[in-house]
Structure 1
Amino acid sequence: MLVLTLLGLSATAAQAASITTVVSANGNGGNYGGSLSVLNDGIFPTEGSQWNLADKVSWNGKGNRFVFAFGDLYRIDSVRLSVDNNDGYLLEYSTDYSAWASLLTVSSGVGEIGWGMDTMATDPSDSEYVSQLAFTPREARYVRIQATDGDNSYSIGEVAFTGERAGNGSTNPVPEPAGLALIGLGLAGMALVRRRRV
């Protein structure tokens, strides 16, 4: 019974959770409208809303990159984002801020919105799921997003990540179910030995 309880607790605790991020901007452009704080405030703009309103970060031309720092190494399981529907965007990940690799590509016109902002997700259980955005979970400390093509007027409303801590940071990682099962078996064995002695 103890083993089953521990396994149940482990399964609940090990589920992917939101990853807290800090956003910064870099790249050749540097000119954009809006506040970076809207990119990770948990609020997704209304779908179909205008691309250059205050609840988004908008810019013209390529060159701007927006970097989301996780503060530790995380395994990214899913991404949910809001972008201008008629543009293409590239999300790349890095563990050291130096070497970057592709995480996923948002092609122009993907999603269900015909004009304005479109919310999309990689999690199949999300109502905004877009199968074309599927990716293999990756470990990263940083993710950056940049425009790749479109009408030269770009916008991001929100980028949210879910996953699990993968590094040996300041907080202890959640034990794996197998590890908890071994602990439970050990405790059960100790209880059995003690019972026999009594």
Structure 2
Amino acid sequence: MSRPRSARGELIPIPAIQEQQAEAAAARLRGGREAGPESAPLTDWPYDADRDDPLTALRIPVTSAYPRWRYTVAFDRESEVRPTDMEAAQLASFIEEHREHWFNETYKAKLSERPFDTDTVTRVFHKWADNDWSYRVATWEHGPFWVPVFPCLRGTHLDDRPNWKAPMTLVEVMDRIFTFSDGPMKRWLEWKAAHPEVFPPVGQQSGGGRD
């Protein structure tokens, strides 16, 4: 399928097409008119995330490991285990933290009209078993596919990242994502401390962390 062109004959970038599709979907939900190039097919659900998955209500897109949209976060539908209620709340909070830190009020209002947050980079989370999580960035082209690595690769020469030794809880993976030197960034620690109902202190966790 050829990409649509602007009125001047220029190819419309893929992110711009996605923006137009999202705007059209939001307009339909508001009872408004569709927007976007006539040659770009629009539907009520332009996303590649599972529309009827319960996580959608929490603004967590459930996709493949190769999402076509640039969601802030996605959960891999091929995961062996579903998130617990606590872990789902933690994923939703991770998305909220990103929104609050990086986006202005105008863009946050725009996102609120859509089912999911989008940005330039997508982090996809995968759950292997209880308290055993990995993640990847959708644009990665080199290195391990998942960190921590696939269970079948653990303990091999490919499991060569000492800071990513499995199994890791979801919160431990999130902590590592926010770590660039000796420990997690201050902003992330402050966010967790401000949301103890989602990130209970160590030793008080249940359903989303180690006992």
Instruction: Please classify the TM superposition score into its range, dividing by the shorter chain length.
Output: under 0.3
Name whichever structure is richer in strand by fraction: 1
**Greater radius of gyration (CA):** 1
Name whichever structure is richer in helix by fraction: 2
Q: Which has the higher contact order (CA 8 A, sep 6+)?
A: 1
Given the two structures, how large is their TM-score scaled by the length of structure 2?
0.24
Given the two structures, how large is their TM-score scaled by the length of structure 1?
0.25
